[in-house]
Structure formats: structure tokens, C-alpha cells
Amino acid sequence: MKVQLSAWRLVLFFLVSSLAWAAPTRARVTAPVASVHRAPSASSELVTQAFLWDRVLVLDERGGWSKVLVVDQYRTRQGYPGWMPSKHLWLEKGPAPTDFCIVRRARAGLWAEPGGKRLMEVFLGTRLPLAEPAGEEDKYYRIGLPGQKATLLVAAADVTFESPQATGKDILRTAWQLKGTNYLWGGMSAAGIDCSGLVYAAYRVHGYTVPRDADQQFLVGQKIDEEDLEPGDLVFFGASEDEITHVGIYRGNNEFVHASSGGGVTTGTLEADYYSERFQGGRRILRSGLTQPQVEVP
């Protein structure tokens, strides 16, 4: 009997140990934009990108690559899966920041002091934690960096504070700042962006977190018929409702803003044969109650 109990204790020990080892590790992105690939190789498909300070769960590490879930981009219930260079991650320690501002320009600089040398460039949609309270008259805000005691400055004019009370025109103005940006499959920034990345970034600035990919963006919000579309609504295209492959932001008069594989961030029209034949419907995110990602963080 004692032998059996000892055996069970040993099994239980290894079971608990394996579960503890497998538990995800919380991390933050340290690069302005960090690429996430389908496999642990730079030549593998780029599936998405994460911004500076984005939350990440690290599941495994292999040869300088980390298997991750990008928490606020929900492809799965825990985030967007993929592989990221481990050098772009800081394993989070202590309490997480709570007060953030968010970059509202296509590109914004970070400085050590006003008028000094630009030390880093960050992109539309990046959430930056405040290192000290922001004053209404401040021209610069001091922000923290992951894993560093040093702080940097961001111009107050380049950031805003999340408040999900935007209008459709607000969303369009934000998206249109990326006019002319080159198309990049899996891209999320002014350095290169795809159709659903444009939607994700534009809405994120205003406090709305939509899914990362077009097929899942189609599944959220309020269903809108073509004749009822308003500026800021999302318009979706594909072979069928089960095969959504493209998304844009409606601007009125049958036009929409989108990241086109052939022309980058530009405008399109629902009257064009290519889009009218593939149009699968609209979705309204504003006033739909969708403001937070549907993710689970262990």
C-alpha cells in the first residue's frame, strides 16, 4: 500500500510539474513593430505584427524564437498564435501598467528630451504607458519602456486617450492617415499593412478592439445591408459569407477605404464589378457594444 501511495505521489508530482512548466509566460513587445510568423523562421509566412508594449503569452522557445499568443489580437480565445523573435520580448515582472495613451498619428517619435534626437519611431495604434500623470497643458508626455528604468517623451499632439465614443468620420480620418502605405500581408503599420490590419489599427485608436482577420471581423458587430451603410461601417468581400477574404471601411457614396494588394491604402467603390460581385455585407462596430477583445489570459 505504501509503495502504491508513493507511486501515485510521484505521478502527481510530475503531472503538477509539467503543468507548471507548460503555463504561459506573460511578456511585452520591446520593438516598435514585431513580426509574428507561422513557423519559427523569418522566411515563414507573416501572419500578423505586434506593437511596442503589446501583451504576449509565451508558450515555448526554440532557437531564438518564441511561440506566442498576441493577447489583444484574438484569432483564438487567448490571442493570435505564431512565432516571434525572442529578442523582441521582455518577460513581464511585477504589476502591469494601467494608464496608457495611444498613438493617433501614422508615425510618432520618442525623444529623451524636447528638441533632441529621435530615439525611436512608433506607429498608429501603439499603446504607451504613462510614467507620470499627464497634465492638460503638457506638450509632451513621459512614457515607460518595457524592462527599462529609462523613460522617453512623446508629443501630446501625437497621442490620444482611448474612449469608445468615436464617429464613423473619426474612424475614417484615422485610417486615411495611412493613405499610400504599401500593402503587406500580415502588416499592421505605416511600414506596410493589410486590409484587416488597417481596420484593426483604425478602430484600436478609438478604444475598439476588433478581431485581427477579416473573416472574424465579419462575425462581430451589427449586420448592415448595403442600402443602410454609414461612414465607418465595415464592408466585406469574398466568394461567399463563409469565404471572406477582404474588408474595407465605408466612407459614403458607395466608396470605401481599404488596403489593396495592388495599390496599398487607397479608396475603392462598391460599383466596380470586382467588388460588387464579391460584396457579402456590412458590419457596424460603432454603437454595437464591442469595445474589448474576447480573450482569456491565464
pLDDT digit string (tens) for 150-176? 999 999 999 999 776 899 999 999 999
**pLDDT tens per residue across all 298 residues of the chain:** 444 444 445 444 444 434 344 689 999 999 999 999 999 999 999 999 999 999 999 999 999 999 999 999 989 889 999 999 999 999 998 888 889 999 999 999 999 998 889 999 999 999 999 998 877 778 999 999 999 999 999 999 999 997 768 999 999 999 999 999 999 999 999 999 999 999 999 999 999 999 999 999 999 999 999 999 999 999 999 999 999 999 999 999 999 999 999 999 999 999 999 999 999 999 999 976 665 544 444 4
Question: Domain check: are 234 and 146 in the same one?
Answer: no
**Alpha helices per DSSP H over the chain:** 2-22, 168-176, 195-205, 214-217, 273-278
Question: Domain check: are 275 and 181 in the same one?
Answer: yes
User: What CA–CA distance (Å, rounded) separates 193 from 33?
Assistant: 12
Question: Domain check: are 109 and 47 in the same one?
Answer: no
7 falls within a domain: no
Q: Can you give the pLDDT at residue 295?
A: 44
147 falls within a domain: yes
What cell numbers appear for 76 in the block? 483564438
Listed residues 110, 126, 160: the one ending a domain: 160
268 falls within a domain: yes
Question: Domain check: are 192 and 276 in the same one?
Answer: yes
Q: What is the DSSP string of 184-196?
A: -TT-EETTEE-HH
Q: Can you give the pLDDT at residue 2?
A: 41
Q: Which domain holds residue 76?
A: 23-91
Q: Can you give the pLDDT at residue 96?
A: 83
Tell me, what CATH number does 186's domain have?
3.90.1720.10
Is residue 88 flagged as an active site residue?
Answer: no
Question: Domain check: are 263 and 172 in the same one?
Answer: yes
Listed residues 136, 160, 184: the one ending a domain: 160
Question: Domain check: are 129 and 108 in the same one?
Answer: yes
Q: What is the pLDDT of residues 238-292, one digit of tens each?
A: 999 999 999 999 999 999 999 999 999 999 999 999 999 999 999 999 976 665 5
Question: Domain check: are 79 and 43 in the same one?
Answer: yes
Question: Domain check: are 112 and 34 in the same one?
Answer: no
Tell me, what CATH number does 85's domain have?
2.30.30.40
Q: Can you give the pLDDT at residue 289?
A: 63
Catalytic-role residue among 37, 88, 206, 246: 246
Question: Domain check: are 62 and 106 in the same one?
Answer: no
18 falls within a domain: no
140 falls within a domain: yes
266 falls within a domain: yes
Q: Can you give the pLDDT at residue 174?
A: 98
User: What CA–CA distance (Å, rounded) separates 184 from 48?
Assistant: 10
What cell numbers appear for 196 in the block? 484587416
Q: Can you give the pLDDT at residue 22?
A: 60
Is residue 206 flagged as an active site residue?
Answer: no
Question: Domain check: are 28 and 124 in the same one?
Answer: no
Is the pTM here over 0.85, yes or no? Answer: yes
Question: Domain check: are 180 and 275 in the same one?
Answer: yes
Number of domains into which the chain is organized: 3
Catalytic-role residue among 88, 101, 195, 206: 195
What residues contact residue 250 under an 8 Å CB cut-off, 6+ apart?
Answer: 168, 229, 230, 231, 232, 233, 234, 235, 256, 282
210 falls within a domain: yes
Listed residues 144, 160, 176: the one ending a domain: 160
Pick the closest to residue 188 from 80, 276, 294 (CA basis): 80
Question: Domain check: are 270 and 183 in the same one?
Answer: yes
Is residue 246 flagged as an active site residue?
Answer: yes
Q: Can you give the pLDDT at residue 282?
A: 98
3 falls within a domain: no
- Integer CA distances (angstroms), 277 to 42, 240, 247, 270, 273, in order: 36, 10, 14, 9, 6
CA angle 157, 158, 163 (to 5 degrees): 90
